[in-house]
Amino acid sequence: MATRARKMDVFSNIMTDTLTLSAANTVTFSEINVGLNIFDKVGLLINRIDYELTSGSTGQMTADGDYLVMCLSQSNSLTSITIDQTEIIDSMKWGRHDFGAAASGQTHLHTITKDFSTLPGGGILIPPKPLYFGGDSDGFASAATLAVRIYFTVEKLTGEQYLELLETRRAFG
């Protein structure tokens, strides 16, 4: 019978990261350092993620089909960000689609929230390292700046639970 991991946190922690793409339309990653390592035998239970494109970057989407994709990943060696990659923990895509004349388009800046609290266990359980915030764009004239806010709790795991967690995230290659 499986046992539930012990909660180390009563309240949610918040971590944030900002990333400027290395160039327009180029996959870029930034490592998020949580201050934990693999020897701590803990998992991060992600309850919610807020993604946001900074206000100066929304003007980069000037044509039909332009898009931006952001993700949390356990690898920074990906050449694209697609949902079928097991290293991707979560992703979101923000695009522009024009109806009628392109001159009638309007861009609104808002935060896109992903709520995982209704999943079994209360979220997505991941190892604390490695963790990356990544982004890519298509059709942008210059590099965009992205932001993420992650709400999480730390779960204490047994050695067996931790090895199982690593295996589910393919940390063993």
Question: Would you list the domain boundaries of the chain?
Answer: 10-99+106-168
pLDDT of residue 72: 97
Q: What is the DSSP letter of 116?
A: -
Average pLDDT (38-46) is: 91
Task: Say whether pLDDT at 41 is over 60.
Answer: yes
Mean pLDDT of the chain: 86
101 burial (CB, 10 Å; 0-12 / 13-18 / 19+) is: exposed
- Whole-prediction pTM: 0.87
Do β-strands 112-115 and 42-53 pair in parallel, antiparallel, or remain unpaired?
A: antiparallel
Looking at the predicted structure, is the pLDDT value of residue 42 above 70?
yes
CA–CA distance, 115 with 102 (Å, rounded to integer): 33
Q: What is the pLDDT of residue 168?
A: 81
- Are the beta carbons of 121 and 2 closer than 8 angstroms? no
Rounded alpha-carbon distances, angstroms, from residue 138 to 25, 66, 135, 162: 5, 5, 11, 38
CB distance 131 to 76 below 8 Å = no
- Evaluate if residue 78 carries a pLDDT over 60: yes
**Overall size of the chain counted in residues:** 173
> Residues 6 or more apart from 20 whose CB is under 8 A from it?
28, 143, 144, 145, 146
Question: Any idea what DSSP says for residue 6?
Answer: E
Question: Mean pLDDT over residues 133-139, rounded?
Answer: 94
Which DSSP category does 5 fall into?
Answer: P
Per cent of the chain over pLDDT 70 is 88
What number of other Cβ atoms are within 10 A of residue 128's Cβ?
Answer: 19
Residue 143 has pLDDT above 70, yes or no: yes
Supply the pLDDT for residue 59: 74
Checking if the pLDDT of 169 tops 80, the result is no
Cβ atoms of residues 141 and 62 within 8 Å: yes
The class (CATH top level) of 10-99+106-168 is mainly beta
Over residues 84-123, the pLDDT tens digits come to 898 999 999 988 877 776 556 666 667 899 999 999 999 9
Q: What percent of the chain has pLDDT over 90?
A: 53
